[in-house]
Amino acid sequence: MAALGRRPGRFFVEAAPLILSRSSADSITVHTPAKVNLFFEVLAKRDDGFHEIDTIMCPIDVYDTLLFHDDRSGRIQLTCERASGPLCSTSDSCRATDSGLPTGQDNLVVRAIELLQREAGVAGGASVRLIKRIPIASGLGGGSSDAAAALVAGNAVWRLGLDWGTLARLASRLGSDVPFFLAGGAAVCRGRGERIEPIAGLSGWHLVVARPSQGLSTAAVYRRCRPAERPRSHELLREAFDRGDVAGAGHRLFNRLQAPASALSPWIDEMAARFTRLDLPGHVMSGSGTSYFGLCRHAGHARRVARGLYASGIGSVFAARTCRN
């Protein structure tokens, strides 16, 4: 992965696959990916205050790094850094800086570790270092991905032996997107996101992703969203991907949250207008925004489009690829 630092924002060309590596008996490193929503329909408002959704999510090769060390004192200590350099397990070559993120219970990583402690009866604690590359408040799932990584790391370092189903149930208590990052790849997610159906055939597709300087509140976007009276189906999109039909898939990208998000942030319509002027099979907002992505024909196409967007000073721009996490 290469970084160009000539102006604010980051331009990542590519990244290594997800790596879980144990550096010692009591520590582990997890590289944990971002995601995009290729399809997002809102079906109904639930009695519990959440929304019933139908979405296709896919991990992309842009990663945060979580370094988890056992702490026998029982305390949980978290430090957060923002990196603008290549994917790595320490900040010596990352050029990491203060992230400005909370390091207490306002951080989902801390809440994930505390939940695992309570449910598994763990007496030990953890010293955790989080290196952020995934933009925050962007619809790319960085916080949820980090929380899933914390569950996986704690399960490994504390030798709990919890199975996938148990971890997924814990993940669903932390947030709607967290269970997805335990699925291992693309998936159809239903309910409020916790009902997961893994799907094949969605790795290796090339994207360009742009995230402007302004983020959005997921809760605020959902408050403006009205569930569909006649919901769209994701089946035609899945069929296009199954055929390898990039043009057909591009025409069927969809996000019900894009309209309410555009009412809250002028960046959404600005992004849509810019992407429409580009040579792309299709484009759409990811999650609750403000990140916006376009489907590309191949790696060279993604790099070319990303360079053009980056040169315009739009913010953080990624040439990415869908992958297994």
Catalytic residue annotation: 35, 177
Q: What share of the chain is helix, strand, coil (3-state, %, to 5)?
A: 30, 30, 40
Contact 321, 61 (CB under 8 A): yes
Cα 154 from Cα 172, distance rounded (Å) = 17
Contact 191, 54 (CB under 8 A): no
Which has the closest alpha carbon to 285: 299, 296, 270? 270
Q: Cis omega (within 30 of 0) on the bond before 290? A: yes
The stretches of 68-107 forming alpha helices (DSSP H) are none
Contact 66, 129 (CB under 8 A): yes
Contact 43, 53 (CB under 8 A): yes
Please provide the DSSP assignment of 6-63 as one string: SSSS-EE---PPP-EEEEETTEEEEEEEEEEEEEEEEEEE-TTS-EEEEEEEEEEEEE
Contact 254, 223 (CB under 8 A): no
Cα 305 from Cα 295, distance rounded (Å) = 10
Which has the closest alpha carbon to 285: 300, 297, 301, 274? 274
Dihedral over Cα of 89, 90, 93, 95: its sign: positive
Report angle CA 114, 118, 122 to the nearest 5 degrees.
Answer: 95
Q: What secondary structure letter does DSSP report for 135?
A: P
Cα 206 from Cα 63, distance rounded (Å) = 16
